[in-house]
Chains A and B, each alone.
Chain A
């Protein structure tokens, strides 16, 4: 049986699933229920200085829904904890004492001055919690006051605050990054330079969920006006995976522990984050959509996956896919794939044909001998994977790899053996001899 225990920057937890700093970890009651359900840890909802902030009393959340109202994406405008600091710290202390095997990490957000950070760190450390996470990510509300993503968007501030924190606490320091930035490597590098023990990402993405076309107001709105929120849920997973992968493979940050966050809803999502370099994962939206019980399905699925693949521990596949993430210019341009339609599985919907015809390479025939029949035209197929992506039937369209020496019907030439990328390609004016 797979061992799911993890030690992330020295913080131990029975499984790699922590609840992210968010409404589900707002108070003792919630975290208690989460731990009873089996969550490995919780990053307590961000605390700040007193007096506590206030939240709006209208809609704080909104969802992007599928036709049958499954949540695809989720948006919130809730600020950090609106309860007094002492209440939060007392509860944190109690929960940690009651659940010594679970990870409790305090998420912090105070103004950008050393004395403020120093003051709160001392109070937090006293609770017996396992670490701190610096909230440099929230894109809404707090950023207007110079906190959250307003800090996370300036690498120099990240480095500075991380350094203060490392100086003023013995606890591991995790820096939570905002994705609302052009190059995620810059803040990650800054965190590392400042001495942070780890980064966690992604925080939410600035978002407006929609427009109420009857009232002509943005949605969600508070008394007729809205403010952008932070977007999360399964829709953001690809964005998060890319950012995790970029940090994992960056020369300057390679080896920096990463807590992966962003749209993790299933064991499979978690395994993907771990394979791309995350040491553990944090979850919020899935819990807010289904409740805490879903942790059981995540751990069960992950353990079965690991057993099936022969991974004894999380470390056995941690970062295993990172070497496969490359720059485009490193891709092998000699490699050729062609789409293949399995006629036994084809249900004749014809979508592959029309999308290829309308929007791609006119490489799928719609008829054969005058009858409805969908077949790839190898002479036009560039292997783009559009048909495979939109086919409603699993495994009906697959990609076939042409062997070196095999004639590519599109070019009329044999597929070259060996590796050849853009840097050496004759069409590249900057090409260097191989």
Chain B
């Protein structure tokens, strides 16, 4: 049993990365590696949203803004400014952080429902800006001309194998950093604010500041997800900033279970599989997705991983002779 949580998480991360790197040996097809790359983008994005919803209790319905912003900033920096990949990556993180700070400062003082709606409204502002500003963004056609992938540090992202490994590494590193943040005093303060903001304020915590920090962190990692997808499709489309991205993010979290750190990852995988499966049979994906969402919302509420950990906790409790079925705390 390893006592130190950061060391354990780091071991998990290394193990996960090795596993992901080895998987193409078992599944050599392009379909598989493409799936993992798309999953890496959505998983980072969904996990970042869970920092707000699951850990912070701030139900953002406009998180897709950062996904779209990340994709467009990165693609534009690469295409128009000719930046190198690390520079574009770092600049996009700065842009996303700054935008998140401004929007967060406006939104986070508000009551729950206002917060959801206002974040959504800001996302639609970005979407309409992308559509309207044709000269820069290419309007509703999306960015044309492709995103160049110049080599850096010996990494050649135009090679599928390198791209795959790069996306896996970014996924694992992002998850590790977010996990570490959530296990830090900052993460526990955030949970405390979620559970009882007034009490947190009485204890001398700057509720507003912690929430804003969480909003900025989530905005940055939402942007990382967007960067990965724009690197993969070698473009950026207005759909990346459309409100449905936010809806999907919320659903991924709920699907996987927001009480578990890796829940959003599982939810992203399930939703992507569902998408690939359904679009093979019908073009009415949203109809099917809508029905699945309704079934879920009115039935299974804790998410798939939540259900698994619940059953697990019950088993553990049963073998220990305890009678209370423990629910996992986030």
The answer on A and B forming one complex is: no
Contact surface of A with B, Cβ cutoff 8 Å = none
